[in-house]
Amino acid sequence: MKININITLNSEPCTLEIDTRETLLEVLRNKMGLKSVHRSCLEGECGACTVLVDEKPVNSCLVLAATVDNKKILTSEGLEQKERIHPLMQAFIDNLGFQCGYCTPGILMNAYALLNREEEIDDQKIRKSLEGNLCRCTGYVNIVKSVQAAKKEKDSGNWW
């Protein structure tokens, strides 16, 4: 069955016609062309498809698009501003927080939510928050360093 949903996608209000069987991952990636939303396990195990729904991280492969009517969706494309790279992304570049990059958009969204909700973070909190995001390449040390570096940028006011 086809229905219309109204969402705010990366700060832009939009109305989308979707099939009620479609997942949020399918709609974002296939219909909206947001290729940062990676398709991998499709079982909620890897976190590669993580996006924010009303500021909370979700595995978009497990969410039916019909359930996000009237909600705000943020993908990592939405972090960039007028072609300015987000300080969180810059921190990952500066600290070698990725290698192949497959897991990176999902990790960025989870880290972004963590940094926005927590005043204080430590390595343990970062690791706990990213436990649902599997990375086969980095060993996580540089990911944690990247999030710590992003926290410094946030605290200095370089954030949006």
Q: Which residues bind ligand FES (CB under 6 A)?
A: 39-42, 44-49, 59, 61, 98-104, 135-138
Report the distance separating Cα 25 and Cα 10, nearest Å. 15
Nearest to 64 by CA among 98, 25, 111, 100: 25
To the nearest whole angstrom, how small is the minimum distance from the Cβ of residue 150 to ligand FES? 17
User: Cβ of residue 152: shortest distance to ligand FES, in angstroms?
Assistant: 22
Between 61 and 114, name the residue whose CB sits nearer to ligand FES: 61
From the list 42, 35, 32, the residue with the least C-alpha distance to 63 is 42
Taking the least distance from each CB to ligand FES, the nearer of 141 and 160 is 141
Q: Which residue, 18 or 103, is less far from ligand FES as judged by CB?
A: 103
Smallest distance, ligand FES to C-beta of residue 77, A: 17
CB of 11 to ligand FES, least distance (A): 23
State how far the alpha carbon of 4 is from the alpha carbons of 13, 14, 31, 33, in Å.
13, 10, 13, 18
The alpha helices in the chain, defined as continuous H runs, are: 24-26, 87-94, 104-117, 123-129, 141-155
Is the CB of 47 or the CB of 78 nearer to ligand FES?
A: 47
- Is the Cβ of residue 62 or residue 66 nearer to ligand FES in the bound state? 62
Q: How far is the CB of 1 from ligand FES (least distance, A)?
A: 24
- Nearest-angstrom CA–CA distance, 133 and 114: 13
123's enclosing H/E stretch is helix 123-129
